[in-house]
Structure 1
Amino acid sequence: MNCTLCQTPLATKIDVEYYICPTCNAYLKDKELYYNQEKEKSHYECHNNDVNDIGYQNFTAPVTNVILDLCTPDMLGLDYGCGKGPVITKQLHDKGYKVDLYDPYFYPDTAYLTKEYDYIFSCEVFEHFYNPKAELDKLSNILKRDGLLIIKTHLYTNQVDFKNWYYRKDKTHVFIYTFDTFKYIAEQFNFEIVTLTEKLVVLKKN
């Protein structure tokens, strides 16, 4: 198996399910353990993503707040991998923002590929990418120069034992990032790092 981000051949496993990439320092689930589309969609349908749920709104608030701080209603945004309950988009629409939706299972319209966006956000999506390189190439191509890519995912640090880490236990989390992974992404995909924290990443396209 090769790394699905940097194509480095993978040889070292951190546990029975995950490889660690020596180049981009990502943690990758063995491809033999990937869900098929039917099983993956069934898993996502079980998510209780009610756009009116206060707890869910608070969970996604870091992304919403970044957009409200750095973007304006006249800009065009894309909620990439929005799921069945696009709570961030609902809150932005309520404030007059223009946001398109895309999700391969719940909002599969690919018209977004013909547009250019001022900002793209993905909340708890990047860890599900079977091919993060292809996804990043695609998102970069439809993001305007100086546009923002806003990502909520949980970066792994060595403060927690990986094998027992809650985020690794989700069967659909196939690609887990570290701080070094996003530094690699910024360099390889021509992004400037605006924010890089354990649970929120903001990149600006150069």
Structure 2
Amino acid sequence: MNTCKLCGLNKVTPLIIPHDKRIYNYCPDCYLIFVDSTFHIDLQQEKRLILRRNNSIGNAEYVHYISQIIQLIRPFIYQGQIGLDYGCGPTPTLNHLLKKENITCFNNDYNFGFNHPFKKYDFIMAIECLEKFKDPNNEIDKLLDLLKPGGIFGMMTEVYPTKDNFKYWNKKLDPSHVSFYHQKTLDYLIANKKLTLLKSDSKRIFIFEKQ
């Protein structure tokens, strides 16, 4: 029997969606929905998908998109602090935008050769990378371990509406997306990962403080 990749519950239920080749599992405890591991794509396939996108400083639409999380996190980060763009992709953009405000943000994405230089950071931003976590419990722990106590964690990951409406949700269509979060999943993170929710848009942007 599959166990939940976040909370470890061993009573997850299969979630079969008509005309979808992938099999999903639903956790009734933390509400995580995750793709069965037999349907995970390999690293090279994932990299090819990412490289097809124009997520760069030269794409005005993308810049506008990620500027939304900067607007929400900005009141909680300051000049002189050191931040990290966790899962920055092949063409980092966030660091360029924050540099305009005299805020330093390093890039981290092992898949594309970006390795962070410090052990701890004042803030970490993860833009659309939690969906790619195949082992979300361990990977979220690894991310938060890089954050100083009292540090700020900005997460940009759209939460799914309901279990029944998940089948209509287009975020699941990306083959590299294997973990999907609900508002109840975030409640689990707050309770179990020593986080305090500071601000959110209740849809895809959530700003936390590490206790």
1:68 aligns with 2:69: no
1:52 aligns with 2:58: yes
Contact 2:94 2:105 in 1 (8 A): no
**1:122 equivalent in structure 2:** 126
Distance 2:60 2:46 in 1: 26
Equivalent pairs, count? 204
Deviation at 1:110, TM superposition (A): 4.9
Q: Percent identity?
A: 26
Question: Superposition pairs for residues 23-172 of structure 1, below 5 Å?
Answer: 23-112=29-118, 115-158=119-162, 161-172=165-176
Distance 1:62 1:110 in 2: 24
Distance 2:11 2:117 in 1: 36
Deviation at 1:140, TM superposition (A): 2.0
Distance 1:176 1:40 in 2: 17
Local SS of the residue matching 2:9: coil
TM, length-normalised to structure 1: 0.92
Deviation at 1:28, TM superposition (A): 0.7
Q: Deviations over 1:107-132 (max 9, x none)?
A: 332534xx211100011111110111
1:9 aligns with 2:1: no
Deviation at 1:66, TM superposition (A): 2.6
Structure 2: give runs of 5+ residues left out of the alignment. Answer: 18-22
Q: What is the letter of the counterpart of residue 210 of structure 2?
A: K
Local SS of the residue matching 1:13: strand
Structure 1: give runs of 5+ residues left out of the alignment. Answer: none
Local SS of the residue matching 2:13: coil
Local SS of the residue matching 2:134: coil
TM, length-normalised to structure 2: 0.90
Distance 2:61 2:12 in 1: 41
